[in-house]
Amino acid sequence: MDSSRSTALLTDRYELTMLEAALRDGTAQRRCVFELFGRRLSGGRRFGVVAGTGRLLSLIRDFRFGEDELRFLRDERVVDAATLDYLEGYRFTGSISGYREGELYFPGSPILTIEGTFAEAVLLETLALSVLNHDSAVATAAARMSIAAGDRPLSEMGSRRAGESSAVAAARAAYISGFGATSNLEAGRTWGIPTMGTAAHAWTLLHDSEEDAFRSQIEALGTGTTLLVDTYDMREGVATAIRAAGTGLGGVRLDSGDLPVVAAAVRAQLDELGATGTRITVTSDLDEHAIAALAASPVDAYGVGTSVVTGAGTPTAGMVYKLVARQGSDGGWVGVAKASTDKASKGGRKAAFRTLERGIASSELIVVSDGFEDIEPASAHPDARALQVQLVQDGEADAAHEGAAGVQAARAHHAAVRSELPLHALALSRADPAIPTVYAERDS
């Protein structure tokens, strides 16, 4: 194994100390069902978007303890020798089912169901939550921005406001939820996302004059490029841009000012100069509310940075990973649940369906069963859409969810399922979830 690719230490220490104790007392091999879900929708959002699933499957494949990882654990005396021996041969051989990437979720939705021995499944907790909490928060914010933008294109350009790896993951999540391009080249290479970008203010400041900068950019990139016109005086910048490029200039970018007022003024100036086809892109600290405020303005495209990569003020989806069913000492299955105040969970394995009325979502139906094999079939709910698919079977991930192809599939799935939302779900104000979560017990 290439130890440099191992994801095994992207975890919390207590996962390994629980494993050590379970190996000691004989419970490590008990069959268990863990569930990843959110108790509520963070930030008063009306729906959430599942993102990160395809990334997680690849990271689980690399969840191996090589020589370097084992040496660290030994040197730091994290676990005992017997546990190190177990970890040396660790492979997740269980199964994972869950919501497709790009799917909508609501409070209590069983986004992932992880089945295996306690030893195998408990070790995946931190990794699964790290990926889905981040990516789903970004995807949910991006979906709200996409709704606000309507048919106008959105580009993600927030790499400088995130950690280097988080920036790539954020670009991926935003693309799944409706953004059309990213400025991040690694996201383009890894995930097949279209990339875009022209020049920053430094380009204009480098040259002896704004016109020199514009003419040089046009010579390099052609008249279809977009010129950043607000380094100095914006009105003069627009005039200079058209003088340098002619009325066939592709676009201008506005990165400052009172955008509704500025966009209207720039549109009027461009039209007066005969540049009626020159597009206007705005990029100044936008979020979903600022985008919505520009709906009536003559804006052609948006570039969003800080807000999207930080979840528009809600940087985590608040998901948790809980044991919901296990085998007892007699071999029988029992549902288990945490009962802590405000943090209670619901025991039992779940089957999830979205009930639809004339194609519009009306509820999240979750059918609960204590049993391991006794799962509600989709045929029992002909007027609902089954939400769970098999992601990993006997340790083997379904490769269709991974890589660039998986991203494209998730993007298409998100567009399809978002059309099921009721109209009030598209509002940007804080509110209760757009549809209720309804629990039902499966008849024995």
The reported pLDDT for the residue numbered 406 is 98
Q: Rounded distance, CA 279 to CA 320, Å?
A: 44
Instruction: List C-alpha distances in Å: 219 to 38, 45, 222, 244, 253.
Output: 52, 46, 6, 10, 18
Residue spans of beta strands (DSSP E) within 358-425? 360-369, 384-386, 388-393, 396-397
Residue spans of beta strands (DSSP E) within 195-309? 226-228, 251-254, 279-282, 301-304
Q: Rounded distance, CA 388 to CA 378, Å?
A: 10
Its CATH architecture, for the domain 3-138+315-441, is Alpha-Beta Barrel (3.20)
- Three-state SS for 189? helix
The reported pLDDT for the residue numbered 378 is 74
The reported pLDDT for the residue numbered 81 is 98
- Three-state SS for 75? helix
The reported pLDDT for the residue numbered 3 is 45
How would you classify the pairing of strands 396-397 and 384-386? unpaired
Q: Domain-by-domain residue ranges, the chain?
A: 3-138+315-441, 198-299
Q: Which two tokens stand for residue 323?
A: 């044991």
The reported pLDDT for the residue numbered 331 is 85
CB 244 within 8 A of CB 223: no
The reported pLDDT for the residue numbered 342 is 77
Q: Rounded distance, CA 337 to CA 109, Å?
A: 15
Name the residue among 146, 127, 14, 118 with its Cα closest to residue 61. 127
Region of 285 please: left (phi>0), alpha (psi -120 to 50) or beta. Answer: left
Torsion 79-80-82-85 (CA) sign? positive
Topology of the domain comprising 198-299? TIM Barrel (3.20.20)
The reported pLDDT for the residue numbered 1 is 37
Residue spans of beta strands (DSSP E) within 72-119? 95-99, 104-105, 112-117
Q: How many CB atoms lie within 10 A of CB 45?
A: 25
Name 385's Cβ contacts closer than 8 Å, sequence gap at least 6.
353, 354, 356
What phi and psi values does residue 279 have, to the nearest 5 degrees? -85, 155
- As averages over each run of 10 residues, the pLDDT of the chain (444 residues) reads 76 98 97 97 97 98 97 98 98 98 98 98 98 98 98 97 97 98 98 97 98 98 98 98 98 96 98 98 96 98 98 97 93 87 85 96 92 70 94 97 98 98 97 96 68
Q: How many helices (H) and strands (E) does the chain have?
A: 15, 19
The reported pLDDT for the residue numbered 341 is 78
**Residue 437: half-sphere exposure toward Cβ, Cα within 13 Å:** 23
The reported pLDDT for the residue numbered 345 is 82
